Structure 1
Amino acid sequence: MWTRYRILIFSSLLTEIWMERQYVSQRQVDQEGAFTRNHTVLEGTRFKRAIFKGQYCRSFGCCEDRDDDCVTQFYEANALCYCDKFCERDIPDCCPDYKSFCHEEKEWPPHSEGCLRDGRHYEEGSAIKENCNSCTCSGQQWKCSQHVCLMEPELIEHVNNGDYGWTAQNYSQFWGMTLEEGFKYRLGTLPPSPKLLSMNEITAPLLAITDLPEFFVATYKWPGWTHGPLDQKNCAASWAFSTASVAADRIAIQSKGRYTANLSPQNLISCCPKNRHGCNSGSIDRAWWYLRKRGLVSHACYPLFKDQNATNNACAMASRSDGRGKRHATKPCPNNIEKSNRIYQCSPPYRVSSNETEIMKEIIHNGPVQAIMQVHEDFFHYKSGIYRHVKNEESKKYQKFRTHAVKLTGWGTLRGAQGRKEKFWIAANSWGKSWGENGYFRILRGVNESDIEKLIIAAWGQLTSSDEP
């Protein structure tokens, strides 16, 4: 009995030893097979990475110290990935090809043709627009035009980083235009003629200097009698907009509010006959001549054309004299909703002294005046503050200017650049109310900044005895 029991125990031990040996042997075989499979996958992975590495690094440069022996299993993607077991975190510290290689979200093009721009691939021959310049992909390189743009981010940064007393802004209505296009389409006043420059300056003993307030705005003194800025858009006709606006203000003030209509710049643009350029620039002396000889209707009667380049924008108004110097319209308003086609006229224009005090006296006593200024490239960026031309010494490509006509409506004194107290004019532009300070701007006073005080023009409304209030 005891012998049988020992034989049974011995047989059990032999069976257990045999099963252990079989398990060890099978494990070695499995490990060898797994090694062979992993080795094959690893070689394929290395080959794939070698191809990918070449394409990526030719464009971006990277991966010089890549260790292809560092491979881990990425079960969700059923792939082997290079050292990226932490790459699922929201921390961008992994190899740049992690998602494209492991997740195959994006493969680089199999060829090297085309160009890259901001991480995007463009085919050979593709064309894109960047601000005012056009770029074409040619020979795997971008070839771009070299225009100076009207809106220049570097110029905006230069102004805003300096203590110049005013701030600059990027305007969407100017984006994509070249500086030359801005000068060509957004200004439009020809340089003053010798006839204008030879006019005698008028000085009137109106008020003593001590009677002039530190701050004055025409709108406050004559509410409802002065007129806000219009938008000339891409019609180069500041010569017409400023003249019509100053004339309208003067007629309203002289008539003591009996005639407060804003006058039509489109009437001038379309009808001013001699040397007429319309939206291709014009002279203010011809504009004032037309106001005196022919007269204008209201802006409501003759509104601005939506398409200034249309071929049918001929003059739609005519007038005749009644023999006593008063003119009357012979046609109804182009805007058939408006019934009043009254003709408004002005006296011959006169030149106000360029002296700061004399200009202030003229404005406070008789109303806003017309000023001819030089517009530099930075003026288009003006947003707020007291403007002074900021020279960008780093680039002479910006140092250009053209002539522009605006309306001076008041003045003031505030702290400007470097905390100093500075005097300024308040002026109405003709680029719409989205530009500047609701269509207005402030500019240094008393130093002839940008020639703002060089040529100041005004006129009287031509009212008959029946027109007088």
Structure 2
Amino acid sequence: MAFTNTFHQFLLFAILLCIGLSSFQSSAISHEPSMVKRHEEWMVQHRRTYKDNVEKERRFQIFQKNVNLIEAHNKKNKSYSLSVNQFADLTDEEFEKMYASAKVPESRHSNSQRTPFKYEGYTSVPASINWVTMGAVTPIRNQGTCGSCWAFAAIATVESLTWIKTGKSYDLSEQQIVDCDRYGKDRGCNGGYADGAYNWIINNRGVTTEASYPYVGYQQYYCYRAQSAVTIKGYQFVPNNSERAMQQAVANQPIAVYVESKGYNFKYYSGGLFTGQCGTATDHVVAVVGYGTTTDGYPYWLIKNSWGTGWGENGYMRMLRNVNDPRGLCGIALYPTYPTN
């Protein structure tokens, strides 16, 4: 009798276990095709192909993990949202190698090439300014998988300075910087310095147009000769650890800044007021092309990125300004620099 009861209990447990496993498998099967379909659609959208099914499966697992991170964030009551963009099948390490390769300016560390801050005495700082709507900023571009953000940010600020000084808009060549600025510390698609790009433009007596030297997304073997369209006389650093000094500078012209971009919050940003999370180990260069205040009273920097219009707010970010840390959010106030003429 005891054996019979034990057997019946075991049989009941086995049946319940099978029902549970069946339910779990059914749930997993119903979920899996949905994510697979999303990945397939994402591949088409971003023209992504893989060498074989093994690689495709590995990328799918990375994609699924990143999608889950993004969706978990968007369920929270945050001031900014994330989206499944072109980086969704990359590991953190791959992203850092391709896109987070900017170098910290050595001249800032050594205090060399220091000149007085041009806008030190500028007190008529407006409450907001937007160089994009004023016409001083060229359209958003995409650096692709080349780690050339430093060239894009430098060129963006030179384009804007030229418009401010002459009223003429020039679409200038990042590719010329990537190909030709190879004898100093800059390393083309493997990272560089915004001030290094300025130095090259000064020494070359100018930079040519995008039409004359179009962007290809990799460092070409040769540096081609091209007629310069625009030049600059020098460059300066904004006093570091001072968002007030940054505001003085941006009130007069867009500037290049270094930020930490490797966190998933930054790389998947799609809109709203960005408030972090991020550290201050800067690895990416962008242009600050304005500042303002949100409708609910929060101050922000308007950032022009070089990751295409599919990232952020059509290629731009609004980042929280005047934070408690003197280094600024994501280290934005550590190494601001701008060209002079």
**TM score, norm. by length of structure 2:** 0.75
The aligned residue for residue 282 of structure 1 is 192
The aligned residue for residue 411 of structure 1 is 291
Using the alignment, how far apart are the partners of 1:232 and 1:282 within structure 2? Answer: 14
The aligned residue for residue 421 of structure 1 is 297
Using the alignment, how far apart are the partners of 2:123 and 2:277 within structure 1? Answer: 35
Which structure features the higher share of helix residues?
2
Show the 5 A alignment for 1:78-227.
Answer: 118=32, 127=54, 129-130=56-57, 132=59, 152-171=66-85, 173-195=86-108, 198=111, 199=114, 202=117, 203-208=119-124, 212-213=126-127, 215-221=128-134, 223=135, 225-227=136-138
Match of 2:96, as an amino acid? F
Using the alignment, how far apart are the partners of 2:145 and 2:94 within structure 1? Answer: 9
Does residue 364 of the first structure (1) align with residue 291 of the second (2)? Answer: no
The aligned residue for residue 345 of structure 1 is 231
1:266 to 146, 154, 175: 175
The aligned residue for residue 268 of structure 2 is 381
Which structure features the higher share of strand residues?
1
The Cα offsets for residues 183-218 of structure 1, whole Å up to 9 and x where unpaired, read as 11123311222546624561422234xx522x3201
The aligned residue for residue 46 of structure 2 is none
The aligned residue for residue 315 of structure 1 is 223
Show the 5 A alignment for 1:395-406.
Answer: 403-406=283-286
Using the alignment, how far apart are the partners of 1:238 and 1:269 within structure 2? Answer: 10
Using the alignment, how far apart are the partners of 1:252 and 1:184 within structure 2? Answer: 34
The Cα offsets for residues 143-173 of structure 1, whole Å up to 9 and x where unpaired, read as xxxxx779712321332122231001111x2
Contact persistence 2:154–2:195 (CA under 8 A): no
| Matched residue SS, 2:132 | helix
Larger-gyration structure (1/2): 1
Name the CA shift for 1:443/1:130 in 2 (closer, same or farther; >3 Å): farther
Name the CA shift for 1:197/1:118 in 2 (closer, same or farther; >3 Å): same
Name the CA shift for 1:450/1:131 in 2 (closer, same or farther; >3 Å): farther
Unaligned runs of 5+ in 2: 1-13, 34-52
Using the alignment, how far apart are the partners of 2:137 and 2:222 within structure 1? Answer: 29
The Cα offsets for residues 356-406 of structure 1, whole Å up to 9 and x where unpaired, read as 2332222222x1111111113221110001112237xxxxxxx89651100
Percent identity over the alignment is 22
Contact persistence 1:197–1:455 (CA under 8 A): no
Contact persistence 1:149–1:179 (CA under 8 A): no
Shift of 1:423: 0.8
2:207 to 296, 302, 305: 296
Contact persistence 1:201–1:352 (CA under 8 A): no
Higher RCO, 1 vs 2 (CA within 8 Å, ≥6 residues apart): 2
Shift of 1:179: 1.2
Using the alignment, how far apart are the partners of 2:20 and 2:88 within structure 1? Answer: 40
Shift of 1:118: 4.7
The Cα offsets for residues 79-130 of structure 1, whole Å up to 9 and x where unpaired, read as xxxxxxxxxxxxxx9xx9xxxxxxxxxxxxxxxxxxxx959xxxxxx84634
Contact persistence 1:374–1:401 (CA under 8 A): yes
Show the 5 A alignment for 1:322-341.
Answer: 329=226, 341=227
Name the CA shift for 1:220/1:178 in 2 (closer, same or farther; >3 Å): same
**TM score, norm. by length of structure 1:** 0.56
- RMSD (CA atoms): 3.1
Contact persistence 1:151–1:170 (CA under 8 A): no
Unaligned runs of 5+ in 1: 1-56, 65-92, 97-116, 120-125, 135-147, 318-328, 330-340, 392-398, 462-469
The aligned residue for residue 43 of structure 2 is none
Contact persistence 1:411–1:425 (CA under 8 A): yes
Shift of 1:279: 0.7
Using the alignment, how far apart are the partners of 1:228 and 1:127 within structure 2? Answer: 39
Contact persistence 1:231–1:430 (CA under 8 A): yes
Contact persistence 2:260–2:280 (CA under 8 A): no
